[in-house]
Amino acid sequence: MRILGIESSCDETACAVVEDGRKILSNVVNSQIEEHKIYGGVVPEIASRMHTEAIGAVCREALDKAGLTLDDIDALAVTYAPGLIGALLVGVNFAKSLGFAANKPLIPVHHIRGHIAANYLSFPQLAPPFICLVVSGGHTNIVEVLSYTDFKILARTRDDAAGEAFDKVARSLGFPYPGGIYIDKAAKLGREDAFRLPHPKVEGSPYDFSFSGLKTFVLNTVNHAKQKGQELNANDLAASFQKTVCDMLVSRLMQLTAQKGYRDVVVAGGVSANSGLREKLQSETKRLSLNLYIPPLSLCGDNAAMIASQGYYEYLAGNLADLSLNGCSSLPIEQSYICAQC
Ligand code: KG4
Ligand code: ZN
């Protein structure tokens, strides 16, 4: 079964063709980052307009690169939640129009379920159940993936997502948006024990995360140094911050993995590109003889191949939409789409 995936939840307009949920036939990502960089973050109105301008050509390119026409496509999968509402609506309405015109089934896909599915494209043998750390710009969760379409959140962030904390710390150090990758690069040149940073805990919820206190501590450290006219070693601060975040993520993931008795540990989302996180996960899972799955860098960030992959499993589970499909800015991963007509 060939599925055309469509993704426009934030600042990437993406279309891809995937066969049977596992094989990428094409994967086109049109990034808007250069436009948003000058504002230091994503401007929702600009994102929506740029998706509208790009989506037709991106879709055509995805079909061309796969060597297919719309007639060869069996269904359309589109990100409908969560994300920037104006941005989501561009993909949703494009998919609805295309589905109506070409008479193809329409599959609504949750963006974070898609990030997890990036691993199905990378590891043919991987199948649920497994435990998954989801670390993106908007989400930080430890999720039990019970089946392809059945999820249970075991831990969540109570405030900022990990990616958000990376981006805000990067901004305070003068790096461009999105700053996660610049912190990653700077950290390689710094000493991770140079700064003693807090490891915030959530009272009564030992596995939940809190990054805002850590972020504020780093921002205050930068501001105090500026006020006093002191030179601050950005590489050292980046390395210390990255180590603190990675320690928090990996230690809780390992504790929950042991508690639930999983052997397969999966990681998903943009922050899974972080080299410090990848190294720590590799060493810890090796020490504990666990199997680690992290997508290649090309599939860590937003793309539509992951949406088409998850779309395949949503289709098999009967999770289809009709033309009443709407975008939804926030939606728990546990909740499957409920069609208004069903
Ligand atoms: O999953 P994603 O592409 O978009 C969302 O769904 O949010 O994640 C984007 C986030 C940004 O915060 C970005 O700074 C972060 O992923 N990121 C990184 C790295 N590459 C991307 N964070 C740390 N280290 C990286 N190498
Ligand atoms: Zn994402």
Q: What fold does the segment set 2-117+302-339 form as a domain?
A: Nucleotidyltransferase; domain 5 (3.30.420)
State whether residue 159 is helix, strand or coil. coil
Please give the average per-residue pLDDT across 235-248, as a whole number: 98
The residue whose CA has the least distance to atom 3 of ligand 1 is 301
Amino acid (1-letter code) at residue 113: R
Q: What is the mean pLDDT of the chain?
A: 96
| Pocket test residue of 79, 116, 157, 166 for ligand 1, highest count of atoms within 8 A of CB | 166
Instruction: Give the residue carrying structure tokens 């993931």.
Output: 253
Domain ranges of the chain: 2-117+302-339, 128-299
| Chain length of the chain | 342
Binning pLDDT at 50, 70 and 90, where does residue 338 land? confident
The confidence score (pLDDT) of residue 341 equals 58
Q: What is the band of 342 on the pLDDT scale with cuts at 50, 70, 90?
A: low
Q: What is the pLDDT of residues 37-62, one digit of tens each?
A: 999 999 999 999 999 999 999 999 99
Closest CA to 267 of 149, 112, 161: 112
Beta carbon of 180 within 6 Å of any ligand 1 atom: yes
Tens of pLDDT along 90-141? 999 999 999 999 999 999 999 999 999 999 999 999 999 999 999 999 999 9
Mean pLDDT of 304-310: 98
**Do residues 118 and 299 touch, judged by C-beta distance below 8 A?**
yes
Q: Is the CB of 178 under 6 A from ligand 1?
A: yes
All residues at 6 or more sequence positions from 187 whose CB lies less than 8 Å from its CB, including other chains: 235, 238, 239, 241, 242, 243, 276
Q: How does residue 279 score in pLDDT terms, banded at 50, 70 and 90?
A: very high
- φ/ψ of 220, rounded to 5, equals -65, -40
Burial 107-140, CB ≥16 within 10 A → b, else e = bbbbbbbbbbbbbbbbbeebebebbbbbbbbbbb
* Closest-lying ligand 1 atom to the alpha carbon of residue 12: 3
- How far is CA 115 from each of CA 132, 189, 322, rounded to the nearest angstrom? 10, 30, 24
* Ligand 1 atom nearest 179 alpha carbon: 14
Tell me the mean pLDDT in the region 149-167: 97
Report the half-sphere exposure of 143 (CA within 13 A, side-chain side).
28
| Residue 286 pLDDT greater than 60, yes or no | yes
pTM, two decimal places: 0.96
User: What is the average per-residue pLDDT within 54-73?
Assistant: 98
Positions of E strands within the chain: 2-7, 12-19, 23-31, 75-81, 106-110, 130-135, 140-147, 150-156, 264-268, 291-293
Ligand 1 atom with the smallest distance to the CA of 269 is 1
Report which ligand 1 atom has the smallest distance to the Cα of 112. 6
How far apart are the C-alpha atoms of 113 and 216, rounded to whole Å?
Answer: 30
Is it true that 2-117+302-339 and 128-299 share their CATH fold? yes
CATH class given for the domain over 128-299: alpha beta
3-class state of residue 27 by DSSP = strand
Instruction: Give the pLDDT mean for 194-208.
Output: 93
Q: Please state, as a whole number, how many other Cβ atoms lie within 10 Å of the Cβ of residue 287.
A: 9
Q: Is the distance from the beta carbon of residue 302 to the nearest atom of ligand 1 less than 6 Å?
A: yes
The whole-number pLDDT of residue 340 equals 66
